[in-house]
Amino acid sequence: MTTPYTASTTATQVAADLSSEITGKVVLTTGASPGSLGAFFVSAIAKHSPKLLILAGRNVSKLKTVATAIDADPASSHIVTRVLELDLASQGQIRQAAKEVLAYAENINVLVNSAGVMALPYSTTANGVEIQLGANHVGHFLFTNLITPKLLSSPVPRVVSVSSDGHRLSPIRWNDYGFGSGKTCDKWRAYGQSKTANMLFAESCGKAGRQGLRAYSLHPGVIHTNLGNSLSMEDFKSLS
């Protein structure tokens, strides 16, 4: 690190500091659609010669838009990208995506679990789990565990889960994580529960210490991305 990081530090600055850690790595990032935190992340590290960037998400055409932008940038035009269809709200599709990853010739050095939804009205995943807990945590939990062989084949594998300061909104509701099948659901508490789950997942991965696996969770800061596109100012005011 060459400079201290502050609240105004950008992904571009961090990537420049960690350039030697990025070079030659295979990085799989979930939620890398345009306007997302994942897209900003892969675009930033693409300038520092990773071996391969795997962009995962529900909408393949949107992922290709980000891949095309990386290729169009002279600073990253030499970088190889690959898109992976991954719907974290469907365990069946997650298993299909993981099967595809396990068939790759390359191992995975870094998995960044960046995809997420925020403060949605109550609904469930294809498997009946409250949508925010299901997509933000359960989907990533399943996907990460399924592709663990590809991670553990790397010298120093890393799993990074994007959590949020929003974890303060709710612990895990062990006795009723489904909010009474929606009858008592508060969308912000549901979001907080999912972000707490992200942190606990990172903690459990780290404690497991499987063959040197390193796991982290983080609060990315308060930034404008497409995560909040469906929310109004009234939604945010309800947090105060």
The catalytic site residues sit at 191
Tokens of 75: 């600073």
Backbone angles phi, psi at 42, to 5 degrees: -65, -35
Cα separation of 205 and 240, whole Å? 33
| Residues written for the chain | 240
CB within 8 A of 3, min separation 6: which ones? 13, 17
Q: Are strands 110-113 and 26-30 parallel, antiparallel or unpaired?
A: parallel
Alpha helices in 86-168 (DSSP H): 91-102, 131-132, 139-146, 148-152
Return the SS3 of 111.
Answer: strand
